[in-house]
């Protein structure tokens, strides 16, 4: 039975059969706003490239050959052989710890010398005791060595090196002094140009060993560049 304007209308058996058939056909059709891809039969069957399927006008499942349809899944491109890591980074946490420890030592000396001044210890024109003055000279020397070391890396390796990063402390004179530093090296190969990559690595190797006294980490970077150049030569010989 169906309702029409508030009155009941009896439908015969033949009508019920027709309504049932019509309902089944409607159920088979996608509703408005429902993407056809929501039908599992229209999704790719597997990753081997069988592609998408669709229903034709008669309701049969057929391959989807319409423009823009995904016919096959392209094969994965293997990654190129790594010549060198893009960057080699030290554990900068050690630099931060070193700076904190050094600052603690400075603060302890300043506190002790403050008491000494109250007891009449002589000071220079800057208000520093002999002990504080010696500490300032030591900080200046360390600052010059750290900056010279990192700038040697930076200028020798440009444009493949970053500007230096420094870890600083404050001395008894209120000035800031570097106690550690780091320069990043860009070791990424130059895509499609093996000769340019080789020149880049040779320059960076010189930059790694440019300071007057290279650090253990500097030697590590130089060794990595040696291995990278060996791999690059082996690839070029194939």
Structural domain boundaries in the chain: 92-236
User: For 24-71, what is each residue's pLDDT tens digit?
Assistant: 444 444 444 434 444 444 443 443 444 556 667 776 766 666 665 554
Coil, helix or strand at residue 180: strand
| Structure confidence at residue 58 (pLDDT) | 72
Q: pTM (2 decimals)?
A: 0.64
State the chain's mean pLDDT as an integer. 79
Q: How many beta carbons lie within 10 A of that of residue 29, not counting itself?
A: 10
* Among candidate residues 212, 201, 208, 232, the one with its CA nearest the CA of residue 222: 208
Exposure string for 189-219, b = 16+ CB within 10 A, e = fewer: beeeeeeebbebbebbbebbebbeebeeebe
Find out whether 29 and 55 touch, Cβ atoms under 8 Å.
no
**Does the pLDDT value for residue 87 go beyond 80?**
no
| Structure confidence at residue 154 (pLDDT) | 98
Alpha-carbon torsion angle 85, 87, 91, 92, nearest 10: -170
For the residues 140-163, what does the mean pLDDT come to? 97
| Structure confidence at residue 183 (pLDDT) | 96
Q: How far apart are CA 234 and CA 228, in angstroms?
A: 10
Q: Hey, which residues does 185 pair with through a beta bridge?
A: 161
| Structure confidence at residue 69 (pLDDT) | 55
Coil, helix or strand at residue 104: helix
Q: How far apart are CA 182 and CA 202, in angstroms?
A: 20
């Amino acid at each position: 039975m169906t309702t029409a304007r508030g009155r009941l209308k009896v439908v015969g058996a033949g009508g019920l059969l027709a309504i049932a058939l019509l309902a089944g056909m409607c159920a088979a059709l996608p509703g408005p706003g429902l993407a056809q891809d929501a039908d599992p039969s229209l999704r790719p069957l597997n990753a081997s490239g069988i592609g998408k399927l669709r229903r034709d006008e008669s309701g049969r499942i057929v391959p989807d050959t319409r423009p823009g349809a995904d016919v096959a899944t392209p094969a994965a491109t293997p990654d190129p052989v790594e010549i060198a890591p893009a960057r080699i980074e030290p554990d900068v946490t050690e630099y931060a710890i070193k700076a904190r420890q050094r600052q603690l030592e400075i603060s302890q000396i300043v506190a002790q010398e403050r008491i000494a001044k109250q007891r009449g210890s002589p000071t220079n024109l800057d208000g520093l005791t002999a002990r504080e003055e010696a500490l300032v000279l030591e900080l200046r020397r360390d600052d010059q060595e750290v900056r010279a070391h990192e700038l040697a890396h930076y200028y020798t390796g440009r444009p493949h090196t970053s500007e230096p990063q420094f870890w600083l402390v404050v001395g008894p004179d209120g000035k800031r002094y570097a106690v550690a530093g780091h320069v990043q090296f860009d070791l990424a190969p130059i895509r499609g140009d093996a000769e340019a990559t080789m020149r880049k690595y040779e320059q960076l190797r010189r930059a790694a060993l440019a300071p007057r006294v290279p650090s253990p980490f500097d030697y590590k970077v130089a060794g990595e560049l040696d291995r990278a150049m060996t791999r690059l030569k082996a690839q070029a010989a194939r």
